[in-house]
């Protein structure tokens, strides 16, 4: 079993192993130890894994309840969080009790946000069931909900007490969802681990380990996203704009893939990197069935969607741009400059 220690919050472990779900009770006993658990999941994941996780909690002699909400970005809302909070209050949950997020990134974000605000913070455990959540959203403590079409506009930093990653759960993923996760894996390779690009068809546990170790190191140095952690947003500023403009028709991972290509073109236009960076990135994305562009949206449309980006500060926004494949840097521009760059890169 692989264990990675994340040194932020109170510190916690990320455990990775095929078949680990069958031993979840051992980890829950050692690292959570609550008398009551509430499992939060969605309508896609619950039929597959909810009963198995409930059985492991019951094996501890603990009380277990559940909350299952309809799958999809449209349910990543205050209303969903509110229902979770009402259930916790009705069950008389206290700060010594624990939530379990069983699912992908949406479940983790919603459950984590509920944990961050109930009684001003209770413990929660992440059990990611998608590749995207395993390598990215389950680690680092970013939680939140959407505000209308604005992605993750409201949230909190709230670290989990434990992350249990069983890659066997990926066997039930639709191919499209697995490709979404590969976009985030390629992102890690592009920002600081070029050697990972040659191992994308290798052992999945080792791939997850590499990505989580990178994120753990960065987050441990910059938990609140004030500097170095912003590098993990490579492809996301443009990608979130693509998601918003498509009304979530283009899912997160595929939007990030498009966003990385946009970042390459902007970086090349600014003279920061050469054309070979876009070529290498495009080859990797294409090899894993990921899109390179979204021609249906003009630069003006995407620029409009970026007005509420969380990395914007006043009239400026910080972009993550590649210097070479495997090295990215933060580059701050005014919104007016960004508009000119985007329109120029779109021609």
Is residue 188 included in any domain, yes or no?
A: no
- In the chain, the largest separation of any two C-alpha atoms, in whole Å, equals 63
- CA 204 – CA 165 distance, rounded (Å): 11
Predicted TM-score (pTM) above 0.85: yes
Q: Do 151 and 292 share a domain, yes or no?
A: no
Is residue 199 included in any domain, yes or no?
A: no
> 152, 159, 158, 160: which is closest to 126 by C-alpha?
160
Is residue 303 included in any domain, yes or no?
A: yes
Is residue 326 included in any domain, yes or no?
A: yes
Q: Do 167 and 20 share a domain, yes or no?
A: yes
> 71, 101, 96, 207: which is closest to 164 by C-alpha?
101
* Helix locations, the chain, DSSP H: 24-31, 46-58, 78-90, 105-117, 131-132, 175-192, 204-221, 236-245, 252-269, 275-287, 299-305, 335-346
327-334 and 316-324 beta bridge pairing: antiparallel
Q: Do 258 and 123 share a domain, yes or no?
A: no
Range of the domain at 54: 2-172
Last residue in a domain, options 135, 156, 172: 172
Is residue 207 included in any domain, yes or no?
A: no
* Domain at 126, CATH number: 3.40.50.1970
Q: Do 119 and 256 share a domain, yes or no?
A: no
Per-residue pLDDT of the chain (347 residues; tens, 9 = 90+): 999 999 998 899 999 999 999 999 999 999 999 999 999 999 999 999 999 999 999 999 999 999 999 999 999 999 999 999 999 999 999 999 999 999 999 999 999 999 999 999 999 999 999 999 999 999 999 999 999 888 889 999 999 999 999 999 999 999 999 999 999 999 999 999 999 999 999 999 999 999 999 999 999 999 999 999 999 999 999 999 999 899 889 999 999 999 999 999 999 999 999 999 999 999 999 999 999 998 888 888 898 888 777 677 778 899 999 999 999 999 999 989 988 888 765 54
* End-to-end Cα separation, the chain, in angstroms: 50
Is residue 67 included in any domain, yes or no?
A: yes
> 318, 308, 315, 160: which is closest to 229 by C-alpha?
318
Our count of domains for the chain comes to 2
* Helix locations, 222-313, DSSP H: 236-245, 252-269, 275-287, 299-305
Is residue 193 included in any domain, yes or no?
A: no
- CA 291 – CA 152 distance, rounded (Å): 23
Q: Do 106 and 166 share a domain, yes or no?
A: yes
Q: Do 252 and 115 share a domain, yes or no?
A: no
Last residue in a domain, options 172, 191, 211: 172
Q: Do 159 and 228 share a domain, yes or no?
A: no
Residue by residue, DSSP assigns 329-345 as EEEEEEHHHHHHHHHHH
């Amino acid at each position: 079993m692989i264990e990675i220690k994340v040194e932020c919050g109170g510190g916690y472990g990320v455990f990775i192993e095929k078949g680990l779900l069958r031993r979840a009770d051992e980890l829950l006993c050692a690292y959570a130890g609550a008398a009551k658990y509430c499992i939060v999941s969605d309508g896609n994941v619950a039929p597959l894994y909810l009963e198995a996780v409930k059985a492991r909690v019951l094996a501890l002699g603990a009380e277990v309840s559940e909350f299952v909400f309809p799958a999809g970005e449209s349910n990543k809302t205050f209303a969903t969080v509110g229902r979770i909070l009402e259930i916790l209050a009705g069950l008389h949950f206290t700060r010594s009790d624990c939530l379990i997020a069983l699912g992908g990134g949406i479940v983790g974000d919603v459950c984590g946000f509920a944990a961050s605000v109930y009684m001003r913070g209770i413990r929660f455990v992440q059990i990611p069931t998608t590749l995207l959540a395993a390598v990215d959203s389950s680690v680092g403590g970013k939680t939140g909900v959407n505000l209308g079409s604005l992605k993750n506009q409201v949230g909190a930093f709230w670290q989990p007490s434990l992350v249990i990653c069983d890659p066997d759960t990926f066997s039930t993923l639709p191919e499209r969802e697995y490709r979404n996760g590969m976009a985030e894996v390629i992102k890690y390779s592009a920002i600081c681990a070029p050697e990972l690009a040659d191992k994308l068809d290798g052992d999945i546990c080792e791939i997850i380990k590499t990505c989580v170790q990178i994120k753990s190191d960065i987050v441990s140095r910059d938990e609140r996203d004030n500097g170095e952690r912003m590098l993990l947003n490579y492809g996301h500023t443009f990608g979130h704009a693509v998601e918003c403009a498509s009304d979530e028709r283009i899912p997160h991972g595929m939007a990030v893939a498009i966003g990385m290509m946009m970042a390459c073109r902007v970086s090349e236009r600014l003279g920061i990197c050469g054309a070979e960076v876009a070529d290498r990135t495009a080859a990797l994305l294409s090899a894993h069935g990921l899109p390179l562009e979204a021609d249906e949206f003009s630069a003006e449309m995407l620029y409009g969607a970026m007005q509420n980006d969380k990395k914007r500060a006043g009239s400026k926004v910080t972009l993550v741009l590649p210097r070479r494949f495997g090295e990215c840097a933060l580059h701050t521009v005014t919104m007016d400059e960004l508009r000119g760059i985007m329109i120029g890169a779109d021609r």
